[in-house]
Amino acid sequence: MQVKCNQCGAELKIKPNEIFFTCTYCGSSLYLDSSKVIFHYYLSSKIIKEDLKLILSAFLKRRNLKKRIKIEKKEIFYFPFWLLKGKKEETSLKLAAPTAIDEIEKVVIPPAGKLNFFDPENKDIKDKKIVVPSIAYEAIKKNMEKEIKKGDFSQAMLLHLPFFLCQYRYAGEKGRFTVLIDAVGGKVFANSFPHVSLEKIESEFFWAVGIICMIFFMEGLMVKNLLTKAFVYFISAFPLYLLLRYFLSKKG
């Protein structure tokens, strides 16, 4: 099969079922999608395996999950996205393959991130798992027909981004939890989390209720007029209502 290079226009002969290939004339990395030749890039990983526990612990801590974790699996892989570029330097990332954690579509390419031509022999990606695209550009184009017609996104390319697949255990919880960690920016993506321990929440809750009860008691001693006292109690009860909603939402 013969195709033309997007960069230099050279006629290239590729093998049957070959989808990733390099132009022998200009060195451009290309991807064949439904008979359409598209530039193919990747971003290098900036995160190393030794960083993962710290990143994941910090992420869980922000969700009030502060117990010990044990990472049992950490595997890097490259996932495909359609990178759409517009005339005003707008960019949009769309999944080029299905995934159980589709939140990774929210991953952000760093402003200084350098796009490298995809080469399976490059040391960054050699021997790494490469997810093959299975969502054609035509499907993305159909879903974004209005934007593409307006010229908002006139250029499309295939981009492989590195992620760490981590499976970990959380102290006191049965089973393993799975997260994906963006190996460029360190953002964590997950569908499920361990349960928040209620010990600290309940302790804070009772302290807060105790303080508000003390406030009610002091107000009762200081305000003698019955109507004024009822008004003051009503105003004081509002923060308690908000506090109860806050703790109930954390328990849920």
Question: Domain residue spans in the chain?
Answer: 37-190, 198-251
H or E element: which one contains 86? none
Strand partners, 78: 130, 162
pLDDT at residue 65, as a whole number = 87
pLDDT at residue 194, as a whole number = 86
The one-letter code for the residue type at 120 is P
Decide: 188 and 181 in contact? Cβ < 8 Å: yes
H or E element: which one contains 116? strand 116-117
* Closest alpha carbon to 47 in 187, 183, 188: 183
Q: What is the pLDDT along the chain (252 residues), one digit of tens a residue?
A: 788 888 898 998 888 888 898 998 999 999 998 768 899 999 999 999 999 999 999 999 988 888 899 999 999 999 999 998 877 667 788 999 999 898 898 898 877 678 899 988 888 888 999 999 999 988 888 887 776 666 566 788 999 999 999 999 998 788 899 999 999 999 999 988 887 654 455 555 666 667 767 777 777 777 777 778 777 777 777 776 676 666 655 544
Question: CA-to-CA distance for 76 and 52, rounded, in angstroms?
Answer: 11
Question: CA-to-CA distance for 173 and 166, rounded, in angstroms?
Answer: 16
Decide: 80 and 159 in contact? Cβ < 8 Å: yes
pLDDT at residue 151, as a whole number = 58
